[in-house]
Amino acid sequence: MHSSTTDRPAVSDRVRRLHERMTLEEKIAQIVGFWVDQGDEIVAPMAGEMKASGRYDEAVALGIGHLTRVYGTRPVDPVARAEWLWAEQRRLQTETRLGIPALVHEECLTGLAAWKAATYPTPLAWGASFDPELVEEMAAAIGGSMRELGIHQGLAPVLDVIRDPRWGRVDECIAEDPYVVGVIGTSYVRGLQSAGVHATLKHFVGYSGSQAGRNHAPVHAGRRELQDVFLPPFEMAVIDGAVRSVMNSYAEIDGVPVASDPELLTGVLRERWGFDGVVVADYFAVAFLETMHRVAVDKAAAARLALSAGVDVELPSGDAYLALAGDTDAEALVDRAVLRLLAQKEELGLLDADFSAPPTSIDLDSPAHRALARTLAERSVVLLSNDGTLPFAGPARPRRIAVIGPNADSRSAMMGCYSFANHVLAHHPGTPMGFEVPTLLDSLRDALPDAEISYVQGCDVEGTDASGLDAAVAAAREADAVVVAVGDRAGLFGRGTVGEGNDAESLDLPGVQRRLVEQVVATGTPAVMVALTGRPYALDWALDGAATPRAVLQAFFPGEEGGRAIAAIIAGETGPSGRLPVSMPRSAGAQPFSYLHPPLGGPSEVTSTDSTPVRPFGFGLAYTAFEHTGLTVAPEASTAGAFEVTVTVRNVGGRAGADVVQLYAHTPSRSVTRPVAQLVGFARVALEPGESATVTFDVPAGRLAFSDRTYTRVVEPGPVELWVGGSCADRATEAHLRLIGDTHAVTTADPRVVATTVTRGAAATL
């Protein structure tokens, strides 16, 4: 049972004394935000209807908890805005009774969402890289920029597990595997917080399980799915990453809105996991308890529900919490929340901050940022098929190349929904991007200077206009090779084909893009298709059809250096090494689908439909080949212990490359059905031609835990099948063990992460 709403968190004497001086109205002011720059632009759901009222100077007269998106709502010069912010913080210190500065938060999912700031690959690309160390380095760089600008909290990472690619927010997610989401998301948390900026986990919990992949739709997840799929990434980030902030989900789960659910926000998050940070509301989520979920009669009732559940701070403004002014019956709830917020401000150094000297210059897109963005982009590109046409290198490289497609010469096609360019600048036509984003066309011309490169758009991303297809076909016929770039345009709430509020009924490429590719391929000119998307599309026709492109590259919104990264792979300067973090679907009708399905969740003789993905989770080709052999494990291990697995990976091709070594398991004969394949651990290993490495996985038995029939998370004794291969469906080398002993009930003290060790061998002569 969760604790009483009157229980107060443990705080310092300083915070306790500060709290004792506060009136109820001053307390409420500290647990709300104010959106200083909110205008008519729709950059949050229902923002038009929920537009903040009241003047700024009146709203902050008693102090304020958060300043909302000071840099990230409109294109403002960072240095000039910092000067304004420092002055406002000084004013709060000197002209309010308590002198408490505001906490400043911003979006930072693909880099700091501010004008002129670096834009990194979208989180789905982080998953495709299978490189948590690089993601941590990226997050530290993002956090450094934020801290320099006086920003204290970032609204990232998103730890929603992908359940249905029709959902528009898939590009914000990391993977369909909870462990991958947890490991990479926790790395992001560590990186951001190492720079002194608090990370915020989104969206706790179940948001991505929405009915039919629709945004803000009901979630019908059972308790077992909630515990075994949706909660583990958050648990890892809370316990292993020591995250300092969590944001509630807009979802309602089995009829209970999460923003009003104390079992999740207090019982699971605080009492079971020991979280002692601050829970912030997703934008307008508290007011939505009245207006959308309709479980509250008015805003004051909505505020009491949210505070009782454990939502400490209302963002982006005080739409509901301010309605509690004068309500002394709610003061105990307010006290609990404001103590947590004041403790956070103390932890961030805000209570002693010096705002006398704002930054006079700052480079938000430095060479270091760009180098990280380039490396992550390169490691995230997935080669889905290749008959040897790629790379365009060596004596046989094409001299005349036609670059075709709506995403070939588009900068916005490189960036996700929560990039500043697509999130905010779309409302400000004519405003310069503020930083360099080379298109794929630009980048191919730079990477292949000796080639004669022509360009035809062919069609738009959306719409039915096919008038440009003939010109594209003509250009293809005149060329030695074709690069055709298709895919998505990210945006919000109807502005685009993917992104928040842009859910899909079909998983076919939008518009007439499939016709464009098929007609170009029909010319007989060798064609390479590049999919620049925010979700996986049904590309069976392009991968396994009768007339397919010679090669297909999948890039999930690869960021500001994505064009150069893809061009370098096409030109053979580097090789593709990304792996699919989500299954490549066969059709929209096969959704929702997860590779983590039980035996009845896959194809069988008793149904006429086939849900088998066109490319499985973990799949990705390279310009070389890797051999996995010698998987070994002890025959027995304790359910309460760990077991060591070793495997040898060797580069048996003629080029250097990086493999993602993937260890999978299946645990049959348990008390409830188990997935036919479950990723246990992974390791990214770069190898020269002929070089081998031994990868050792130190696996806690808890990696095989699940919720039993009493919904207790346990490790049960029994057989375990293990394998390593090029995807979840590839059993290149196999081994078996048996877990022995009593059924082990897993606690938060059990390790959650697989440790990996890579021991390199001598390069062999090929």
Same domain, 282 and 189: yes
Q: What is the pLDDT of residues 272-319, one digit of tens each?
A: 999 999 999 999 999 999 999 999 999 999 999 999 999 999 999 999
Same domain, 173 and 222: yes
Which helix H or strand E contains 719, and what residues bound it? strand 718-725
Model pLDDT, residue 1: 47
* Final residue before a domain boundary, out of 599, 615, 648: 599
Same domain, 497 and 550: yes
> Rounded CA gap, 436 and 563, in Å?
11
> Rounded CA gap, 571 and 240, in Å?
41
Model pLDDT, residue 7: 77
CATH of the domain at 198: 3.20.20.300
Is residue 230 situated within a structural domain? yes
Nearest residue to 176 (alpha-carbon basis) of 752, 731, 750, 727: 727
Is residue 766 situated within a structural domain? no
- Integer CA distances (angstroms), 71 to 93, 115, 143, 149, 595, in order: 21, 8, 14, 9, 40
Quick check: 53 pLDDT over 80?
no
Model pLDDT, residue 5: 47
The arithmetic mean of pLDDT across residues 168-190, rounded, is 98
Same domain, 339 and 228: yes
What's the burial of 367, exposed, middle or buried (CB within 10 Å: 0-12/13-18/19+)? exposed
CATH of the domain at 445: 3.40.50.1700
Q: What is the pLDDT of residues 333-354, one digit of tens each?
A: 999 999 999 999 999 999 999 9
Same domain, 285 and 391: no
The arithmetic mean of pLDDT across residues 47-69, rounded, is 80
Provide CB contacts within 8 A for 532, sequence distance 6+.
407, 413, 414, 440, 485, 486, 487, 488, 555, 557, 558, 562
Model pLDDT, residue 762: 62
What's the burial of 669, exposed, middle or buried (CB within 10 Å: 0-12/13-18/19+)? exposed
Percent of the chain with pLDDT over 90: 91
Same domain, 320 and 180: yes
CATH of the domain at 732: 2.60.40.10
Is residue 619 situated within a structural domain? no
Query: Amino acid letter at 580?
Result: L
> Rounded CA gap, 403 and 532, in Å?
14
Give 638's strand partners.
740
Model pLDDT, residue 40: 57
Same domain, 77 and 213: yes
> Rounded CA gap, 443 and 24, in Å?
58
Q: At 362, is the pLDDT very low, low, confident or very high (cuts 50, 70, 90)? A: very high
Same domain, 417 and 507: yes
Which spans in 4-119 are helix H? 13-20, 24-30, 56-59, 78-95
CB neighbour burial string for 543-560, b if at least 16 within 10 angstroms, e if fewer: beeeebbbbbbbbbbbbb
Percent of the chain with pLDDT over 70: 96
The arithmetic mean of pLDDT across residues 425-443, rounded, is 95
Provide the 10 A C-beta neighbour count for residue 194.
Answer: 14
Domain count, the chain: 3
CB 202 within 8 A of CB 158: yes
Quick check: 415 pLDDT over 60?
yes
Is residue 614 situated within a structural domain? no
Model pLDDT, residue 608: 83
Is residue 371 situated within a structural domain? no
Model pLDDT, residue 604: 83
Is residue 24 situated within a structural domain? yes
Q: What is the pLDDT of residues 473-519, one digit of tens each?
A: 999 999 999 999 999 999 998 899 999 999 999 999 999 999 999 99
188 or 606, greater pLDDT = 188
Q: At 766, is the pLDDT very low, low, confident or very high (cuts 50, 70, 90)? A: very low
Quick check: 710 pLDDT over 80?
yes
Query: Amino acid letter at 117?
Result: A
Is residue 621 situated within a structural domain? no
Model pLDDT, residue 609: 84
> Rounded CA gap, 561 and 134, in Å?
15
Q: What is the pLDDT of residues 531-587, one digit of tens each?
A: 999 999 999 999 998 889 999 999 999 999 999 999 999 999 999 999 999 999 998
Q: Mean pLDDT over all residues of the chain?
A: 95
Model pLDDT, residue 572: 97
Same domain, 293 and 343: yes
Same domain, 215 and 268: yes
Nearest residue to 207 (alpha-carbon basis) of 262, 155, 154, 168: 168
pTM: 0.96
Q: What is the dihedral of CA 543, 462, 126, 724, to 10 degrees?
A: -20
Same domain, 515 and 458: yes
- Out of 38-47, 351-360, 477-486, least confident range: 38-47
Is residue 357 situated within a structural domain? no
What's the burial of 394, exposed, middle or buried (CB within 10 Å: 0-12/13-18/19+)? exposed
Provide CB contacts within 8 A for 673, sequence distance 6+.
598, 599, 600
Quick check: 92 pLDDT over 80?
yes
Quick check: 448 pLDDT over 90?
yes
Q: Write out the residue range of the structural domain in which residue 438 sits.
A: 381-599
Q: What is the pLDDT of residues 105-146, one digit of tens each?
A: 999 999 999 999 999 999 999 999 999 999 999 999 999 999
- Out of 7-16, 88-97, 241-250, least confident range: 7-16
Model pLDDT, residue 283: 97
Same domain, 479 and 517: yes
The arithmetic mean of pLDDT across residues 241-253, rounded, is 98
The arithmetic mean of pLDDT across residues 597-612, rounded, is 88
